[in-house]
Amino acid sequence: MKILVTGGAGYIGSNMTRMLVSRGHEPIVLDTLEFGHREAIPPSVPLVVGNVGDKAVVEKIFRDHDISGVLHFAGYLQVEESVRFPIKYMHNNVIAPIVLLEAMKEAGVKRIIFSSTAAVYGNPQTVPIPENHGKAPVSPYGLSKWMFEELLRVYDRSFGIKSISLRYFNAAGASLDGAHGEVHVPETHVIPLACLAALGSSKGFGIYGTDYQTPDGTALRDFIHIEDLCEAHILTLEALANGHATDVYNVGTGDGVSVQQVVDAVKKESGSDFEAKLADRRPGDPAILVSDPTRLKKEFGWEPKHSAISSIVSSALKWHRSHPKGYT
C-alpha cells in the first residue's frame, strides 16, 4: 500500500516509515522539518516539506500518489508548553489537520491511523486505564488529542472515513539496529534526558515531583519501545484495510515504571552515577499513567517484545553513544 505518513521525519514517524518499507509498503512523508530530521528518512522515500494545514500541498500529494491510507503523527507534543500556549496546540493539533481530512474526503481515501495519547485520560480514577475510562485531560495537549479523536468519529459518521486512534503511553527507546533514536529540540522526555546526563552530554537531569501518591513519590509511567509501538500501527493499518470499524486502543505494556526507576536503570546500564536533581512538579503532569492494553492484544495478537525498561534504556544509550549530536 502507498501510505501517507504525516510527521514522518519525527521520532515515531521516521521509525514507522522504515518499518513500512521493510514490510513492502510505499510510504510518502509529509513533514515541516520544524522538529523532524531529513536524515531519519530512508533515501528511497519521497519527502514533501510542508504542513498538514496547507491545502495546496496536501491536495497535490493525493493527486500525485495513489494513497491507500494515512498515518497521522504530525503535531505538537510538549505538555508543559501546551499549558502556556494552549491556542497554538489547538490550532496545530486540531484545526490544521482538518485540511488533511478534507483532502482525504475529496480523494476518496477512507483509512487513517491517528497518533493519540494517554493524556486524554487526565488523572485516572482506575489503574491500569481501560479505553472506556472517562476523559478529563489536564493539559491542552491532551485535550487537543481527544478533540481530534472525536472529530475522526464525525468524519466516519458523515463521510465514511474509518480511523483507529492509538493512545500511546510513553514511547521510548531506539531502533534495534541502533540507526534511529529519539531527538527533540528541546528534549523533554525522561529517558533521553537521563541518557544524555549519564553520557555527560547535558548539564543536568531533573526529577519533577517527588510527592506523588506512588510507591517512591515520583510519577509512574508505562514505557513502550518504539519497535513495539510501530508494530501496533502495522496491525491496525492492515485491519482497516480489511474493513475494521473506527475504534480506539491503548498502546502500552500495562506495567508502571517510576521516574526514579528510570534513573536507576540508566545508571545501571551506563555505569554512570549522574546527579538527579529534585524539582517541583510540572503543570499538566498526571501522577500515574499505566495502560490496560488487553483489547489490542486480544483483537490483533499484539504483544510488546522489547519493552522491558532495561531493553528500552539499553537501546537508547546505544543510540546516544553513537549519535552524540543527534542526526547532525
- Say what the pLDDT of residue 284 is: 76
Mark whether 263 and 144 lie in a shared domain.
no
CA–CA dist 21, 9 (Å, integer): 14
Mark whether 235 and 304 lie in a shared domain.
no
Rounded percentage of the chain residues whose pLDDT exceeds 70: 100
Residues 6+ apart with CB under 8 A from 52: 6, 30, 58, 72, 74, 96, 97, 99, 100
CATH, residue 91? 3.40.50.720
- Say what the pLDDT of residue 2 is: 97
Mark whether 110 and 208 lie in a shared domain.
no
Active site residue 168: no
> pLDDT digits over 271-307, tens only?
999 999 999 998 878 889 999 999 999 999 999 999 9
In a domain, 52, yes or no: yes
The mean pLDDT value for 215-230 works out to 96
- Say what the pLDDT of residue 245 is: 98
In a domain, 305, yes or no: yes
pTM here?
A: 0.94
Mark whether 60 and 79 lie in a shared domain.
yes
Question: Which backbone phi and psi does 113 adopt, to 5 degrees?
Answer: -105, 130
Is there a contact between 312 and 169 (Cβ–Cβ < 8 Å)? Answer: no
Mark whether 167 and 314 lie in a shared domain.
no
> Could you tell me the residue range of the domain that residue 299 belongs to?
190-221+254-322
Tell whether omega for the bond before 140 is within 30 degrees of 0, i.e. cis.
no
What is the DSSP pairing of strand 220-221 with strand 257-258?
Answer: antiparallel
CA–CA dist 196, 205 (Å, integer): 9
Mark whether 275 and 315 lie in a shared domain.
yes
Q: Looking at the 3D structure of the chain, how many domains does it have? A: 2
- Say what the pLDDT of residue 202 is: 80
From residue 231, give the alpha-carbon distance in Å to each of 15, 143, 240.
10, 26, 14
> pLDDT digits over 47-105, tens only?
999 999 999 999 999 999 999 999 999 999 998 899 999 999 999 999 999 999 999 99
DSSP 175: -
Q: Is the pLDDT of residue 187 over 90?
A: no
Mark whether 198 and 99 lie in a shared domain.
no
In a domain, 105, yes or no: yes
In a domain, 184, yes or no: no
Q: Is the pLDDT of residue 117 over 90?
A: yes
The mean pLDDT value for 162-181 works out to 94
In a domain, 10, yes or no: yes
Mark whether 203 and 133 lie in a shared domain.
no
Alpha-helical (H) ranges within 161-206 are: 190-198
- Say what the pLDDT of residue 179 is: 84
The mean pLDDT value for 245-258 works out to 97
Better-predicted residue by pLDDT, 101 or 202: 101
Mark whether 239 and 196 lie in a shared domain.
no
Q: How many CB atoms lie within 10 A of CB 160?
A: 11
Virtual torsion, Cα 80, 11, 290, 195, nearest 10 deg: -80
In a domain, 180, yes or no: no
Tell whether omega for the bond before 128 is within 30 degrees of 0, i.e. cis.
yes
Q: Is the pLDDT of residue 325 over 90?
A: no
DSSP 282: P
CA–CA dist 219, 87 (Å, integer): 27
Mark whether 91 and 203 lie in a shared domain.
no
In a domain, 111, yes or no: yes
Mark whether 7 and 59 lie in a shared domain.
yes
Task: Report the run of H or E that residue 17 belongs to, with start and end.
Answer: helix 11-22
Q: Is the pLDDT of residue 177 over 90?
A: no
Q: Is the pLDDT of residue 316 over 90?
A: yes
Mark whether 213 and 132 lie in a shared domain.
no
Q: State the catalytic residue, choosing from 76, 141, 168, 212.
A: 141
Which residue in 271, 228, 265, 268 sits closest to 250, CA to CA?
228
Show the cell assigned to 136: 478529563
Beta bridge partners of 325: none
